């Protein structure tokens, strides 16, 4: 008798005859895996594989990388530029010349009518570095708006700000190899196995060779927490209190590295006086981690010969994001754990090239970590580009999260969105919708014509995706890796570099300044501008980068290799060459659960999806794992409300509501729900996103909601309605 699957059609694997493997780098997360894309005799990309000789991934890829070649053929790629005079009327297909002419005329009209800064540009962490540099030249040197920033404000701004405050410069000091040397790992608000699977795999490799304690601080029992030796389920938003208390114990028990503190830091006295107030008994009441555990972790960390901390969005996306980063740096400074093998303060970056935009995009300043506030930096770039230094503003303009409120109040009238989707990714999207509707002119430049923001756009520019282009990206450990061109641009889409260059030509300033047409030529400009600087890349070329499977900056001209660690000599980038120990008083300003809204709403990611699903939502091999907006809820809390597993509920906050399917799990405590943020019209309809005072990054991870059970029929209707807006 035949049973089950034997009756069904057998699974057949497609035949993949690869004639050519092309070297490239993954375009999703910041791990920076080297990929080879297999191309067949007909010139089609048919498969992807990890590069065995690449130090980062050593032949491995996560589920997103394995299917990355499918992106080339994914649905709803933009085929031609689209244009319309008014939103909510049908778009007309148009030529590149017309789309670019119209856009440049609108930019000029808005700037002439309302002032130069009334036109804003919001970019991303997902272009090639050469594209970032070119967009920066266009924004700063030609168009001349000071309201130019990136979505990295949602992502890495707190890490940047914290590094600058502590060390005098941005730039993560450590690397993945530190796992092989450390004796204690402390991870804050990072779900490494799902969000950086290959970095996690590097950690596992190190642990197989040599056991050391792994301690995860996260209010949720993440996959990382499950694999850790200790899990500290912290009260949301209170990491600074825990960190101050760890420092308290280390100083009080004489476990600090006083020699390192005296030689390489300033501010010790004020810092010690502040942490003296954070004894573990008092801290436990705020951060929810008991006194014994605090003392135990402090001793483990301080007594290890080398100890390291990593963190991601649980720290950065907080009203104390920048302070959280500084607090982690404080911990590493007082224990002498900076710039030594296994001893570091390593921010795990988010997007594939969030580092590249920090280094070269001019979003927060000028290229190569130069500052608008510094006259010599302005002069150097003005001379190099051939512009008047007075054309540059003397202070950075609005952060991305301040640009939208400035649209609300009429200060900004026109916007260019490049590779970012704020209608899904910004907090409180109801407010974002109103701002986009208020714009006189919106241009959206994206791989996909169905990206939600096009609904509000006047012009849509179809950009080529990933390895239809070429250029470099910098990963979490400062490794510059190269994306080689695999396929020619899809339909009539164009590489972002081409689009920026064509736009430049349409401005008088852009005709005077040189805009090199190819990525290697742009890279040459960056190399020249990097000479002698902290992020020196003058020793690199695209070819050398490919040969080495990525090189870590700095690498000066003539050097044999890159540099795995920064600050190994204990000399930092503040004028006195010391790192700062900074006192961090804690003020609790989060929206907390109360009787009307009794749950913390936490949000984040799952392994199979990337951000707003414009890409992973279109690949069956990824989307099938979670095609529906859902929420993790504790079974006890659900029972009390009569909410069943796999039923739909309505979550409500003071901003808005959303419909999600319930997944009952003990991953979340009784007073918390967790929602992946990948879905449109979902978590960010509800989120608050209070801003960090230094970095202006939103606290996506903390707000208060209530959960309403509802008739499943009504839920289905609402769910559909919400999605069709
Ligand atoms: N699969 C996948 N991988 C990705 C991405 C993706 O979309 N999908 N995106 C990339 C990007 S841009 C980024 S920024 C990274 C993000 O990578 P992660 O930061 O690792 O991912 P998240 O899920 O956003 O948040 C991490 C954790 O922060 C915790 N958290 C919430 N509040 C607090 C708190 O108050 N304190 C502490 N200590 N923890 C808290 C959450 O419970 C969550 O488990 O991932 C990158 N990698
Ligand atoms: N509630 C909540 N909200 C969050 C977060 C959270 O944890 N919780 N995390 C925040 C974080 S850390 C981040 S990084 C943001 C991400 O937020 P977004 O950047 O808005 O999200 P993406 O979906 O990555 O949008 C990138 C867009 O660029 C397009 N794109 C990709 N490559 C290219 C290219 O080469 N050229 C062009 N022109 N377009 C391209 C994609 O199709 C996509 O539409 O979301 C933030 N929002
Ligand atoms: S870990 Fe990140 S870089 Fe590596 S394959 Fe996965 S998504 Fe790409
Ligand atoms: Mo991010």
Question: Which tens digits make up the pLDDT trace of 621-644?
Answer: 999 999 999 999 999 999 999 999
CB–CB of 198/33 below 8 Å? yes
Please determine, for residue 293, whether its predicted confidence score (pLDDT) is greater than 70.
yes
| pLDDT value of position 229 | 98
* Assigned CATH class of 20-73: alpha beta
CA of 96 to the centre of ligand 3 (A): 33
* Ligand 2 atom with minimal separation from the 445 CA: 38
Please determine, for residue 716, whether its predicted confidence score (pLDDT) is greater than 90.
no
- Which DSSP state fits 389? G
pTM above 0.85, yes or no: yes
Alpha carbons 463 and 60: distance in angstroms, whole number: 29
Radius of gyration of the chain, Cα coordinates, nearest whole angstrom: 25
Taking residues 512-521, report their average pLDDT.
97
Taking residues 677-687, report their average pLDDT.
96
pLDDT in tens, 382-427: 999 999 999 999 999 999 999 999 999 999 999 999 999 999 999 9
| pLDDT value of position 725 | 36
CA of 421 to the centre of ligand 3 (A): 21
Taking residues 457-463, report their average pLDDT.
98
CATH code for residues 82-151+352-552: 3.40.50.740
Closest to 589 measured CA to CA, from 237, 316, 161, 189: 237
- Which DSSP state fits 29? B
Please determine, for residue 711, whether its predicted confidence score (pLDDT) is greater than 80.
no
Please determine, for residue 100, whether its predicted confidence score (pLDDT) is greater than 80.
yes
Taking residues 163-183, report their average pLDDT.
98
CATH of 173-347, one of 3.40.228.10, 3.40.50.2000, 3.30.450.20, 3.40.47.10: 3.40.228.10
Please determine, for residue 682, whether its predicted confidence score (pLDDT) is greater than 60.
yes
- Residue 506, Cβ neighbours under 10 Å: how many? 17
- Nearest CA owner, ligand 1 atom 11: 350
- The three state secondary structure string of 590-609 is CCCCCCCCCEEEEEECCCCC
Alpha carbons 356 and 364: distance in angstroms, whole number: 13
Q: Where in the chain is the domain with CATH 3.40.50.740?
A: 82-151+352-552
Alpha carbons 232 and 236: distance in angstroms, whole number: 11
CA of 155 to the centre of ligand 4 (A): 4
Taking residues 567-595, report their average pLDDT.
97
Q: What is the mean pLDDT of the chain?
A: 96
Give the DSSP per-residue string, 124-185: -S-S-HHHHHHHHIIIIIII--S-EEEGGGGTTHHHHHHHHHHHSS-S----GGGGGT-SEE
Q: What percent of the chain has pLDDT over 90?
A: 95
By most ligand atoms within 8 Å of CB, the mutation choice from 35, 55, 62 for ligand 3 is 62
Q: Where in the chain is the domain with CATH 2.40.40.20?
A: 599-724
Q: What percent of the chain has pLDDT over 70?
A: 97
- Nearest CA owner, ligand 3 atom 5: 65
94 cis-preceded (ω within 30 degrees of 0): no
CA of 199 to the centre of ligand 3 (A): 9
Taking residues 293-309, report their average pLDDT.
98
Please determine, for residue 5, whether its predicted confidence score (pLDDT) is greater than 70.
no
| pLDDT value of position 10 | 60
Q: Where in the chain is the domain with CATH 3.40.228.10?
A: 173-347
Give yes or no for residue 449 CB within 6 A of ligand 2. no
Q: For CA atoms 562, 567, 569, 571, give the dihedral sign.
A: positive
Alpha carbons 601 and 668: distance in angstroms, whole number: 10
pLDDT in tens, 520-575: 999 999 999 999 999 999 999 999 999 999 999 999 999 999 999 999 999 999 99
CATH topology of domain 599-724: Barwin-like endoglucanases (2.40.40)
| pLDDT value of position 723 | 47
Please determine, for residue 32, whether its predicted confidence score (pLDDT) is greater than 90.
yes
Residue 294 pLDDT class (50, 70, 90 cuts):
very high
pLDDT in tens, 474-505: 999 999 999 999 999 999 999 999 999 999 99
Closest to 119 measured CA to CA, from 506, 399, 415: 415
Give yes or no for residue 616 CB within 6 A of ligand 2. no
Please determine, for residue 658, whether its predicted confidence score (pLDDT) is greater than 60.
yes
Alpha carbons 104 and 80: distance in angstroms, whole number: 18
Please determine, for residue 99, whether its predicted confidence score (pLDDT) is greater than 70.
yes
Alpha carbons 559 and 520: distance in angstroms, whole number: 20
| pLDDT value of position 710 | 82
| pLDDT value of position 14 | 65
């Amino acid at each position: 008798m035949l049973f089950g699957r034997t009756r069904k059609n057998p699974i057949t694997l497609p035949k993949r005859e690869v004639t050519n493997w092309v070297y490239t780098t993954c375009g999703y997360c910041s791990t920076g895996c080297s990929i080879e894309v297999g191309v067949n005799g007909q010139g089609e990309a048919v498969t992807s594989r990890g590069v065995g000789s690449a130090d980062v991934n050593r032949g491995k890829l996560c589920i997103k990388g394995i299917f990355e070649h499918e992106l080339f053929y994914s649905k709803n790629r933009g085929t031609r530029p689209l244009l319309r005079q008014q939103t909510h009327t049908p778009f007309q297909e148009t030529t590149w010349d017309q789309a670019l002419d119209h856009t440049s005329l609108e930019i000029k009209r808005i700037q002439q009518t309302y002032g130069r800064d009334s036109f804003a540009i919001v970019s991303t962490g997902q272009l090639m570095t050469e594209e970032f540099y070119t967009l920066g030249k266009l924004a700063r040197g030609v168009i001349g708006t000071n309201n130019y920033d990136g979505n990295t404000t949602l992502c890495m701004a707190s890490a940047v700000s914290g590094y600058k405050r502590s060390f005098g410069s941005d730039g993560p000091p450590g690397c993945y190899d530190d796992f092989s040397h450390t004796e204690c790992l402390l991870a804050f608000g990072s779900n490494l196995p799902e969000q950086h699977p290959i970095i996690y795999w590097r950690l596992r490799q190190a642990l197989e060779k040599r056991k050391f304690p792994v301690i995860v601080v996260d209010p949720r029992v993440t996959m990382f927490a499950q694999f850790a030796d200790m899990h500290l389920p912290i009260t949301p938003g209170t990491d600074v209190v825990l960190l101050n208390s760890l420092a308290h114990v280390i100083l009080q028990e004489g476990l600090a590295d006083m020699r390192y503190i005296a030689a390489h830091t300033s501010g010790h006295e004020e810092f010690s006086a502040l942490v003296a107030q954070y004894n573990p008994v008092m801290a436990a009441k705020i951060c929810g981690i008991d006194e014994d555990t605090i003392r135990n972790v402090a001793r483990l960390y301080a007594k290890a010969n080398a100890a390291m901390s990593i963190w991601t969005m649980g720290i950065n996306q907080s009203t104390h994001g920048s302070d959280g980063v500084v607090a982690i740096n404080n911990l590493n400074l007082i224990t002498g754990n900076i710039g030594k093998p296994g001893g570091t303060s390593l921010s795990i970056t988010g997007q594939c090239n969030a580092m590249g935009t920090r280094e070269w995009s001019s979003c927060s300043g000028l290229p190569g970590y130069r500052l608008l506030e510094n006259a010599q930096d302005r002069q150097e770039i003005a001379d190099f580009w051939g512009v008047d230094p007075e054309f540059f503003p003397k202070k950075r303009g609005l952060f991305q999260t301040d640009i939208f409120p400035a649209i609300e109040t009429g200060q900004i009238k026109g916007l260019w969105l490049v590779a970012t989707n704020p209608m899904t990714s910004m907090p409180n999207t109801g407010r974002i919708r109103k701002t986009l509707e208020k714009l006189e002119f919106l241009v959206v430049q994206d791989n996909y014509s169905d990206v939600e923001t096009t609904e509000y756009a006047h012009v849509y520019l179809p950009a080529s995706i990933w390895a239809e282009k070429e250029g470099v990206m910098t990963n979490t450990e400062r490794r510059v890796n190269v994306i080689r061109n695999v396929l020619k641009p899809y339909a009539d889409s164009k590489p972002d570099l081409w689009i920026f260059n064509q736009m430049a030509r349409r401005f008088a300033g852009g005709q005077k300044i040189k805009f090199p047409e190819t990525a290697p030529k742009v890279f040459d400009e960056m190399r020249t501008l990097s000479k002698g600087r902290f992020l020196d890349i003058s020793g690199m070329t695209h070819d050398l980068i490919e040969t080495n499977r990525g090189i870590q900056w700095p690498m000066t001209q003539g050097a044999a290799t890159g540099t795995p660690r920064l600050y190994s000599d204990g000399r930092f980038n503040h004028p006195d060459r010391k790192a700062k120990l900074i006192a961090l008083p804690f003020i609790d300003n989060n929206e907390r659960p109360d009787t009307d809204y009794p749950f913390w709403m936490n949000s984040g990611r799952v392994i199979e999806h990337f951000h707003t699903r414009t890409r992973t939502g279109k690949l069956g091999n990824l989307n099938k794992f979670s095609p529906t907006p859902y929420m993790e809820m504790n079974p006890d809390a659900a029972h009390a409300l009569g909410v069943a597993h796999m039923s739909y509920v309505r979550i409500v906050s003071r901003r808005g509501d959303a419909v999600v399917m319930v997944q009952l799990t003990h991953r979340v405590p009784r007073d918390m729900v967790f929602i992946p943020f990948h879905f449109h019209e979902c978590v960010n309809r509800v989120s608050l996103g209070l801003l960090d005072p230094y970095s202006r990054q939103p606290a996506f991870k903390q707000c208060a909601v209530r959960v309403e059970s509802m008739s499943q029929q009504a839920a289905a209707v609402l769910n559909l309605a919400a999605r069709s807006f």
